[in-house]
Amino acid sequence: MEERPPATDAALATGVWVVGEQYGVRDAIDRVDTAPDAWLPLQGRPVWPIQERDGSLVWPERDWRGQWDTIRDEDRTLRPGERRVRLIVDESPDPRTRTPTVWAPGERPGLADELVCLGRQDDATIMRWVEEHGFVGLRADPREWRESVEEIRAALAHLGQARDLVHAIRQLTGDALRSETERLLSLPAGLFAELKNDPDQPMSGPALARMFGIAVPEGTTRWSGAGAHVQALYGLSAVLQAPLERFLRVQTTIAPTGDGMRLQGAIVAQGPLATAYLETLDEASWPAITYAGSLLRIDWRTPRRCGRCGTTFRPKRRDQKWCSERCLWAASKARHS
């Protein structure tokens, strides 16, 4: 029987993102989202005032009968759970009458770190980025026409938390890793260290390892090094869970083979923020963490994908992102252009 060709990599950040021709900023009011599964502090359904013919501003509101009414801007006060936001709105003409500008977030190297840095900048910098690249993609909707600056900051801060955890897992070990994980997850200082010697505690390294299906020798009270990494990986999985559930989807795609084509599944990330989370998930899987008895071993030479061309390669250094000098040079040039 003829051997089937190998499947192409399924972890693909695909799809293009639309950039609007014109954006504006409006003062708006959004409500704090208290839903149990909310990962952003705002609902993302803001209201904004309407300008009357005389130039005054009024806020549309529903009265106690459910009928629409208006309130003058000077009389509008914040109700419990409301927050004033700066809303960025796409004011471009109808896309059916023009050729939109598009780009592929999956082809932009270092996008995740770029977005984390963006979330720490001022409003003007965020606005300039949106004007150049389109919305961040908080709802992974290519047809999105509004995002508030406050939503963008919250989403990118959440992304930064995940990436800081990835960096800590790469660079730290033992109690230093536990302390950094506690800080990033806003847990009480010393919590993981207190639990590490009690394998019956559900948050101890051995207990978490058994929950993941990793065999831990019976009677193990100290699991040198491995427990801290298991605790950190558990924290990282919790941070990534909500965004990945919202952003990533599996869809069918037609892939070429040696003599034709076939149908296969692909993981799709739509938009810059979704692509950044897919990049973070990919980087988090780089180190192969194994153990023998009570000894931890991290294999940094596990094959990984090049951040520029997507080629799978075996790194020579633990922080190597590019497969060759050519890709390193191209990524550096793109970053400074």
3-state secondary structure of 268: strand
The per-residue pLDDT for 219 is: 57
Query: What count of other Cβ atoms lies within 10 Å of the Cβ of residue 152?
Result: 26
Considering only CA atoms, which of 63, 237, 218, 263 is closest in space to residue 166? 237
- The CA distance from 118 to 58, in Å, is 33
Do 134 and 160 belong to one domain? yes
Question: Please, are residues 302 and 288 in contact by the beta-carbon 8 Å criterion?
Answer: yes
Angle, helices 149-171/111-118, rounded to nearest 10 degrees: 130
pLDDT band at 104 (very low <50, low <70, confident <90, very high): confident
pTM assigned to the model: 0.80
Do 280 and 330 belong to one domain? no
Of the candidate ranges 110-124, 142-156, 218-232, 323-337, the one whose mean pLDDT is the lowest: 218-232
Angle ∠(306,246,168) on CA atoms, nearest 5: 50
Of the candidate ranges 28-37, 44-53, 259-268, the one whose mean pLDDT is the lowest: 259-268
Its domain, for residue 279, covers 1-20+94-288
Please provide the DSSP assignment of 184-239 as one string.
HTTPPTTHHHHHTT-TTSTTSHHHHHHHTT----TT----TTHHHHHHHHHHHHHH
Beta bridge partners of residue 69, listed in sequence order:
61
Number of domains comprising the chain: 2
Give residue 257's region: left, alpha or beta (phi > 0; psi -120 to 50).
beta
- Any domain includes 38: no
Do 283 and 158 belong to one domain? yes
Residue 1 has pLDDT above 70, yes or no: no
pLDDT band at 153 (very low <50, low <70, confident <90, very high): very high
Question: Please, are residues 73 and 57 in contact by the beta-carbon 8 Å criterion?
Answer: yes
Report the pLDDT averaged over residues 221-232.
71
In one-letter notation, the amino acid at residue 39 is W
Residue 277 has pLDDT above 50, yes or no: yes
Report the pLDDT averaged over residues 280-303.
65
Do 188 and 165 belong to one domain? yes
Do 219 and 318 belong to one domain? no
Do 258 and 327 belong to one domain? no
Residue-averaged pLDDT of the chain: 82
- Any domain includes 49: no
Using one digit for the tens of pLDDT, what is the confidence trace for 156-209? 999 999 999 988 888 888 889 889 999 999 999 888 878 776 767 777 777 777
- Any domain includes 118: yes
Pure H helices in the chain:
111-118, 123-133, 149-171, 174-184, 191-195, 205-211, 226-247, 272-284, 325-336
